[in-house]
Amino acid sequence: MSEGNDLAQDMDLFSPVTLGDLELANRVVMAPLTRMRAGASGVPNDLVVEHYAQRASIGLIITEGTYPRFESQAFVGQPGIVTDEQVAGWARVAEAVHARGGRIVMQVMHGGRVTHPDTNNGHRVEAPSAIAIDGETHTTRGKQPYPVPHALTVEEAAEVRDSFVTASRRAIEAGLDGVEVHGANGYLLHEFLSPAANTRDDVYGGSPENRARFVVEVVTAVAEAIGAGKVGLRISPEHNIQGALETDRDDVLATYGTLLDQLRPLGLAYLSVLHAEPAGDLVQELRRRFGGPLIANSGFSTVTTREEAVALIEAAHAEACAVGRPAIANPDLVERWQGGHPENEPNGATFYAEGAEGYTDYPSLQLSQS
């Protein structure tokens, strides 16, 4: 392929795009990435502020999953948006990103049954159904088996919905540009969607319509509270992680199809889909049903490369492309990709560690060339 064609492709990936109320300088999106650097208080600290500010040239930063109520904390060191101190910490993050011309939205995440009382400070573990995940989780006291969760009542589910709304309002109060509702990767909202994790026989269980109902209610309530143009939704159909199995393609299409049919009239900012085949029939059908901008994200078992991101945008399979590990290792990822420069290699051993190593110490292009 000629250099001229490469440049034409780059102009697509690096051209501005509007997602609802969000105006992005380019179509590279930083995927939400669990980093566990917020300490026991869940307050974004100086290190967290620096980490996000370093990456402000990415078109849109989506923060790591942030818990909207104490029961929903899934990881040790995960940030929250519950206390005034946490709101103030996120305000510092937003200010630092904006000072460098960036855009940032908060991923609001309820961990569901993917936690333990030793992780969420002794609070109960909540889920659609009283079914434990087969496996162990890292807690403040080491690895422990996942507990059998408390099955939320309809009334308690309404409280959880309201916590998403309160958290979203707090994110806007802190100065972030919007929120992404986390409906993926085996956490609470995904658990409602999955027939393996949701065995309820009430309004939230059974049929695809019923299993989609709670997610519809949460996203609708958040959109009404802060404006649909500031709200995105992340889903991961067929990801089959953390016990949220979806192995029947017909059921997957029925469940997510009815979900997006009901959300379409809201006019959300975007739909973010994590799937191994973002250009495939399922994702593109869900995109059609949603009727709005799509952020594609294929990188979970494999790393999303510059070439893949360029190709996705050039072929019009998505409006933007979310990347994870390259954004971890390259604070100036957009500059590197745009100029065809070498990339830093991510250090997986530090993804879920503490401190600056593997978090804020990856060299920028200027430093690496000096």
Q: What is the DSSP string of 162-203?
A: HHHHHHHHHHHHTT-SEEEEEE-TTSHHHHHH-TTT----ST
Report d(CA 29, CA 186) in Å as an integer. 22
The DSSP 8-state label assigned to residue 147 in this structure reads P
Report d(CA 185, CA 191) in Å as an integer. 9
Report d(CA 41, CA 300) in Å as an integer. 29
Q: What is the DSSP string of 5-73?
A: HHHHHHHHHTS-EEETTEEESSSEEEPP-----STTTT---HHHHHHHHHTTTSSEEEPPPBBSSGGG-
Residue 187 is a catalytic residue:
yes
Question: What are the tokens at 49?
Answer: 């502020």
- Annotated catalytic residue: which of 187, 204, 256, 362? 187
**Helices 154-173 and 208-226: crossing angle, nearest 10°?**
30
| Catalytic residue positions, numbered | 187
